Structure 1
């Protein structure tokens, strides 16, 4: 089927359709999962609100300013987790030999892995993240310009690409080290937590590594500064607030190279 014109796309549609039908077969369970999956993002927002219950500023930023970063992270991460997050299951696929079967099919390995277990229950989390982003921006008192109107759309998309790239790049470690789940989680979920707060609350080598070495500062912190019209307390130029799409593209290119390298050097478990 994949050799006929349009056959590859049809095969991917069939995989997605099969997942949708199987996950929605038990409707009550599916609805419960949809509702339950909102909890993680709700907790992230409540945590920030609790912090501001005992302080007026966090790293030099007010509650409304911080919520812009929280909303951007929530929207971007939840969407990336929906679309790409199940790649974190690759250690199990490697260990059980499922990846071997995937590689035998005349389809791209990465699209297959993403579609074969797409967690549709996480749609509610992505929608809630989007709602948090919209409310945060609407209440932040942004001085709107055409550029900022564009950034409010582009920044979450860039964040989705960036977090998706982190998911994929971290997963490739499993080709060489099957028990690498905790390392991957430190980059994916750790990165989500890092970007939920102003980078000014961190210091030393930790801020340098995560914020600029790995690029997490360009997910929410610098776009938020550009939207709010604030100068960077760390002294970086104003144009860094508009660098998120470029950083996301670099991250995507690096993840693609890492994935290709991992696939080429993968050796079957023999199971």
Structure 2
């Protein structure tokens, strides 16, 4: 019953947005260009150097493509959590808690923006192009990895989103702090972690498992040893990292909801 409610809500949202086709196309293109800005930055860097953190252009673009698709999916599915501070301030979250439906799912489906598929389209175009032109020894496990890596990465991004936005239950104006982690993670995962200082690598690669979004899967696809000396099997461990991240996100969200006392209005 609950699943049908969410599907009906999503269907109505999509129909409403597609009814204004010109506006949708313009927003879609804007999202593509927004995601493409990071691509331009990468190409400019490789106009000045042949390697970045020990990786060639096509290797970095594989990471960018995986991360771009993963972030685009996460932004589409869970990006509505950015609206949590407003829902708390206005008391709308209190109304959601009275319904026999998951408040997280209500927020996620409440104002879903189909135009965000533009981010996915840009990342996917880059990923397909670079994978098809790179010298990769393809096998079934690698094909499976190439297909699932963006989906697994989306779970990691989504989990980070939930944890970061949960701080808004205690800091009502914590949206910018949350965005630093969520959108900052997108930028971090688009580059090899070798370009970052050691403390930042440890924080954003393992505390926030950003390295499992694109860096380690890309190493596995390319059959490249990690310049930092990490074991090769980490390239295949992203699903485990995603599962752990989702578990932590669920615990944090439930803790925040249980200790939420309302707006007092």
Pair 1:173 & 2:178 matched: no
Structure 2: how far apart are the matches of 1:176 and 1:18? Answer: 33
Pair 1:129 & 2:117 matched: no
Query: May I ask how many residue pairs the two structures share in their alignment?
Result: 265
Structure 2: how far apart are the matches of 1:154 and 1:216? Answer: 16
TM-score norm. by structure 2 comes to 0.96
Say what the alpha-carbon RMSD is for the aligned residues: 1.2
Deviation of 1:42 (Å)? 0.9
Confirm or deny: 8 A CA contact 1:211 1:218 kept in the other structure. Answer: yes
Deviation beyond 6 Å, 4+ runs, structure 1:
none
Confirm or deny: 8 A CA contact 1:91 1:181 kept in the other structure. Answer: yes
Residue 196 (structure 2) aligned to one of 185, 202, 205: 202
Structure 2: how far apart are the matches of 1:74 and 1:236? Answer: 24
Structure 1: how far apart are the matches of 2:250 and 2:24? Answer: 33
Confirm or deny: 8 A CA contact 2:160 2:208 kept in the other structure. Answer: no
Deviation of 1:64 (Å)? 0.7
Provide, for residues 121-148 of structure 1, a one-character-per-residue CA deviation record: whole Å limited to 9, x for no partner.
1122212222221112112211112221
Confirm or deny: 8 A CA contact 1:83 1:114 kept in the other structure. Answer: yes
Aligned position for 1:4? none
Provide, for residues 189-222 of structure 1, a one-character-per-residue CA deviation record: whole Å limited to 9, x for no partner.
1111111111111112112111222211111111
TM-score norm. by structure 1 comes to 0.94
Structure 2: how far apart are the matches of 1:10 and 1:154? Answer: 26
Provide, for residues 219-256 of structure 1, a one-character-per-residue CA deviation record: whole Å limited to 9, x for no partner.
11111111001111000111011111100110000001
Q: 1:176 to 1:39 in 2, by over 3 A?
A: same
Residue 189 (structure 1) aligned to one of 178, 183, 186: 183
Pair 1:52 & 2:73 matched: no
Residue 43 (structure 1) aligned to one of 29, 37, 42: 37
Aligned position for 1:34? 28
Structure 1: how far apart are the matches of 2:115 and 2:155? Answer: 20
Provide, for residues 20-53 of structure 1, a one-character-per-residue CA deviation record: whole Å limited to 9, x for no partner.
2332332221221112111111111111001001
Aligned position for 1:111? 105
1:82-97 pair list within 5 angstroms: 82-97=76-91
Deviation of 1:185 (Å)? 1.1
Aligned position for 2:249? 255
For the residue of structure 2 that corresponds to 1:224, the secondary structure is helix
Aligned position for 1:62? 56
Give ranges in structure 1 of 5+ residues lacking alignment.
Answer: 1-6
Confirm or deny: 8 A CA contact 1:68 1:140 kept in the other structure. Answer: no
Structure 1: how far apart are the matches of 2:264 and 2:134? Answer: 56
